[in-house]
Amino acid sequence: MSNGKGRLFAGAGLAALSFAAFAAPAYAQDATDEETQTTTVVEDPATSGAIVVTGSRIRRDEYTTAEPITVISAEEITQAGFNSATDALQSNAVTQGAGQINNAYGGFVTDGGTGANTLGLRGLGPSRTLVLLNGRRLAPGGTRGSVLAADLNVLPTAIIDRIEVLKAGSSSIYGSDAIAGVVNILTDQKLRGLNIDMQVNVPEVGAGVDSRVAASFGFQADRLSVIGSVEYRKRNKLARNDVSFFDCPVGGFLDGEGSEFGSGDSVGFDGSPCFTLDNGGVTINTLGAPTRDAVSRTTGAIGRFNRFVPAPGQTAGPFPGFQGVDFYSRDTFDPIQEEEPLITAAEIYTGYVSANYELGSLGNAEIYAELLGTRRNSSSPLYRQLSLDYVTGSPLLPASLRDGRFLNPNTTSNGKIVAARAFIGYGLTESEQQVDYVRASGGIRGDFFLSDWRYDAYVGKSWNDGSYAIESFLTDRLASSLDVVQNANGTFSCATQAINPNCVAAPALSAAVIGGNLPQAFRDYIVVNTVGETQFRETTFAFNIDGPLFEMPGGTAQLALGVEYRKQSINDQPDPNSINGNLYGLTAGTPTVGSDNVKEVFGELFVPILADVPFFYRLNATGSVRYTDYASYGSDVTYKIGGEWEPIRGVAFRGSYGTSYRAPALAEQFLGATSGFLGSGSDPCDDLPAAGAQSPTEQITARNCASIGIPVGFVQTSGISVFRVGGAEAGLAAETSKNWSVGVVVSPPLPEAIGRFSASLDYFDIKVSNGVSDLAGGTILSRCYSDPNFDPNAGFCRFVTRDPNQRLEVVSSYVNLSEDIVKGFEANARYSRDIFGGRMVLNANVTKYTEQSSRLFPEEFLSDANGIVTQPDWVGNFDLTFGLENVTFRYGLDWTDGDRNKTYDFFAFDEQTGTIDPDLVQSYRDSFYLETNDYFLHSASVQFDVDNFEFTMGVRNLLNTAPPQITAVGFSTVGNAPLYSGYDYRGRTFFANANFSF
């Protein structure tokens, strides 16, 4: 029997093979020592001894490639403490600092919907990274209209043999998605027998336990071979209040450069800087009403206020029962809000089966089939604030407030002026997703009629069916409930009761109501579980042949040719209340419906020019070309060339250059038009602090607002309308890119007593033109009004309209970025030797980005984000393993470079002039702390392997390293930590894995 997790890659390290692909050729059947076995050999199941390298379609007799490939084995995933392939793929060992959408994004709107996990290499996003399962693409998965990329949750962790990551463009090989790179997940085709695998990861805080149990099997019966797996994973919610690091989010402002973090913060009414509106707080238990005299909550003096808190003990003064509050003295914290997830909960069921049957005819053909099925149940409770708008003249108001004019008419005021608004902490509302994903595929492959040529005919179909449910306030029900008449007995009824018998009148305004004590019948009436449905389909037909052409001094020239047809369709149907714009406080959405298809013809040539002669111990050339014809965006030709040259033994050079053409994804083209609202406070000109109390950004904003005639002290009384249109409607165009790399590999022959050493250094350069990107309404407003060179008709402001009554409209959509550029170096090193009776292996992988820049409009200068807090310019991964008989020890280290200067420079950079304002930099340094130290995550494990039993235990984040703290400006934050997948929010986590083979 064969243990599917095996020891084939034991001690290889997550970064070990980024260079080995060129440095040390390995033969598929002849590798016998452990050191050589760590080199990846991907056998063609139908051709013994033939190797198919990720990034190529040509079978070769040795493993070489012109580009670096990182290989992660199942054994390494276990030793590193990852409980799934998803976690391993989103680690820095693979992403090299590029931010990913992971399970910390529960409260954010993300592509694929809540719970989806995606992978984007080189910081270029998941829609430009192609994910393959056994060499075939995984269709996008998830919920809502923005299903753009493969959801990593569908991967069958239990039966994975290894994962190969090619961080180079391969569009001419695989198609348009492979701009930043290709990730190929390979299952264990040699598994025989039964494996039981169990793992649990337990954060030290005790919450957020992540457990998985799986069974995998394989058998051979004459000409039939079958492998399969079933697994169940459950990840419990880890809430913010479970981790003490997030107990007290503060603004984090400074009182001059070098001052203590938070020294410039204002405090709340209780004297605490925690959970103010600067960070982590939300206005609750507060009444909004026209400006009037009231006793101050904090000073006891009489002043002018338009926000008040109930104060039953305030029996005297101009506003009995209430005290006046300002921005900081209002109530902003409800303990229940901290039950929102820091890491979302999920339950995932996965089944996988693959079968091969040798026909013995049609060219020794083999029929193959594969079926993958998953169900993901995920959830992310959301804390909601409820604003109840009581209209002028409403009997629900006390007489002292009934005639007020606080806000203009809105969607719940039935065309009437709002006299008062109650800001209520409603509590948690449920948000759940269920996603069923199925991929069925199969084909036939065998000997072609030309000598030593092979053919492969393939067909695949993917189904993604998702539902997303969220408890939502309904606008029409709120409007009906607030439109009341008073009954003779003093109670209230809806004015529309005769035609709307289920209507429940809103409660009369009182201190209890403002404090969140709402009748249950009213809660049940205004909140409905709204449900949307998402379908995504992908069908693929492909046929390719490959084989030898002619002999060269360096070997046999090989050619691969093929055709492919893909069709995709999306049908997202939001809840009717969403379609009709009836969700209060949430974005309305219309259906996203569309389809596209692409026809492609491709070819690849491998030419081994010279081999085993002085100065040319290896000289290979590769070339590929692909003709792509989209039904939606027309056609183009992409190509790629590469080469390998080994002038002396142990020293080799490699390089490649390629182009790509990517039509916008279905979600980018057909995303249903949405309309929504931002709160009045999202107007950058709203209620700005007095001149002496403004931050640098607020000073710029105030100057820009004044330049268009907005007076000092302006208060926005209307919500902001946000209209989002699909990319096709906005004139979205296809994007193109160029990708080139060059590198050197050193693998000197050393005496066994010294050990084995290999190293590589590669330079990469990717430039995307007309890149597709999404602009959010809030981002547009912020970038418009904080621009030092403000022009109300240019830049981001071209998407903003302000009417004579100061009402704002923002139009957002997918747009074509003028340019997106990523450049840098990736270095890998590996050293191994026998020592102290065991085998030691040391691996290192370091990436240095030299540019991560973009610009939205052609007239702008490139804005380089390289090195800022969430886009580090240095990232490294190191691991050391030591194997003794049946015991393996592992120590791992992830390093993310810190920043002292680049974030300030980035925010002070003017895209219109291409300059950095030193005075603005200094003002930022005086007010904000946007710096991080180098960030290190340590892990350790020990693995015991006895007969058919393997047990691994260890610790991730060994030193319980907390994420860095920054001022809550410029970035999305969790507490005071930047929202960035490179940081660990769980803290120290213990893990244990047990594997049995039979």
pLDDT < 50 positions in the chain:
1-49
pLDDT score of 32: 28
829, β-bridge pairs: 759, 844
Task: Provide the terminal-to-terminal Cα distance of the chain, rounded to the nearest Å.
Answer: 7
The C-alpha atoms of residue 935 and residue 985 are separated, in whole angstroms, by 13
In three-state form (DSSP H/G/I as H, E/B as E, the rest C), the secondary structure along 174-200 is HCCCCCCEEEEEEECCCCEEEEEEEEE
DSSP letter for 269, please: T
In three-state form (DSSP H/G/I as H, E/B as E, the rest C), the secondary structure along 555-615 is EEEEEEEEEEEEEEEEEEECCHHHHCCCECCCCEECCEEEEEEEEEEEEEEEEEEEEEECC
Q: What is the dihedral of CA 783, 786, 791, 797, to 10 degrees?
A: 30
The C-alpha atoms of residue 546 and residue 458 are separated, in whole angstroms, by 14
pLDDT score of 763: 96
Query: At a CB cut-off of 8 Å and minimum separation 6, what does 731 contact?
Result: none
Whether the CB-CB separation of 956 and 939 falls below 8 Å is answered with yes
Give residue 538's Cα distance to chain centre.
Answer: 22
Token look-up 């209890």 returns 512
Whether the CB-CB separation of 322 and 313 falls below 8 Å is answered with no
Token look-up 């592509």 returns 111
The C-alpha atoms of residue 64 and residue 24 are separated, in whole angstroms, by 8
The C-alpha atoms of residue 264 and residue 692 are separated, in whole angstroms, by 13
Token look-up 């959405």 returns 589
Whether the CB-CB separation of 560 and 546 falls below 8 Å is answered with yes
Tally helices (H) and strands (E) across the chain.
15, 47
What stretch of H or E contains 815?
A: strand 808-835
Q: The tokens of 137 are what?
A: 């693409």
Write the CA distances from 764 to 118, 612, 626, 743, 826, integer angstroms: 23, 29, 22, 9, 8
Q: Of 342, 530, 536, which is closest to residue 435 (Cα–Cα)?
A: 536
Strand locations in 430-554, DSSP E?
431-447, 454-473, 484-486, 492-494, 527-552
- Evaluated on CA atoms 851, 852, 857, 860, the torsion sign reads negative
Secondary structure of residue 106 in the 3-state scheme:
coil
Q: The tokens of 812 are what?
A: 């957002």
The C-alpha atoms of residue 429 and residue 583 are separated, in whole angstroms, by 14
Whether the CB-CB separation of 797 and 856 falls below 8 Å is answered with no
DSSP 659-711: EEEEPPPHHHHHPPPEEEEE-GGGSTTTTPPPGGG--HHHHHHHHHHHHTTPP
Phi and psi, residue 707, nearest 5°: -65, -20
Q: Of 238, 236, 187, 185, which is closest to residue 214 (Cα–Cα)?
A: 187
Pairing status of strand 129-133 against strand 136-137: antiparallel
Q: The tokens of 161 are what?
A: 């043999």
Secondary structure of residue 59 in the 3-state scheme:
strand
- State the Rg of the chain over Cα: 31
In three-state form (DSSP H/G/I as H, E/B as E, the rest C), the secondary structure along 736-791 is EEEEEEEEEEECCCCCCCCCEEEEEEEEEEEEEEEEEEECCHHHHHHHHHCCCCCC
User: What type of residue is 313?
Assistant: G
The C-alpha atoms of residue 384 and residue 388 are separated, in whole angstroms, by 13
pLDDT score of 3: 41
Q: Of 738, 725, 716, 628, which is closest to residue 675 (Cα–Cα)?
A: 725
Token look-up 């009414």 returns 269
Token look-up 């300059």 returns 915
Scored b (16 or more CB within 10 A) or e, 512-539 reads ebbbbebeeebeebbbbebbbebebbbe
According to the CATH classification, is domain 16-237+344-380+433-468+533-671+730-781+812-898+933-997 in 3.10.20.30?
A: no
Secondary structure of residue 403 in the 3-state scheme:
coil
The C-alpha atoms of residue 366 and residue 375 are separated, in whole angstroms, by 31
Q: Where are the domains of the chain?
A: 16-237+344-380+433-468+533-671+730-781+812-898+933-997
Secondary structure of residue 270 in the 3-state scheme:
coil
The C-alpha atoms of residue 464 and residue 475 are separated, in whole angstroms, by 31
Q: Quick count: other Cβ atoms within 10 Å of Cβ 69? A: 24
Token look-up 């990730």 returns 183
Q: Of 89, 41, 835, 98, which is closest to residue 80 (Cα–Cα)?
A: 89
Give residue 49's Cα distance to chain centre.
Answer: 39
Secondary structure of residue 927 in the 3-state scheme:
helix
Whether the CB-CB separation of 644 and 66 falls below 8 Å is answered with yes
pLDDT score of 581: 85
pLDDT score of 51: 60
The C-alpha atoms of residue 388 and residue 523 are separated, in whole angstroms, by 12
Q: The tokens of 529 are what?
A: 């579980």
The C-alpha atoms of residue 325 and residue 308 are separated, in whole angstroms, by 5
Phi and psi, residue 825, nearest 5°: -125, 145
In three-state form (DSSP H/G/I as H, E/B as E, the rest C), the secondary structure along 204-244 is CCCCCCEEEEEEEEEEEECCEEEEEEEEEEEECCEEHHHCH
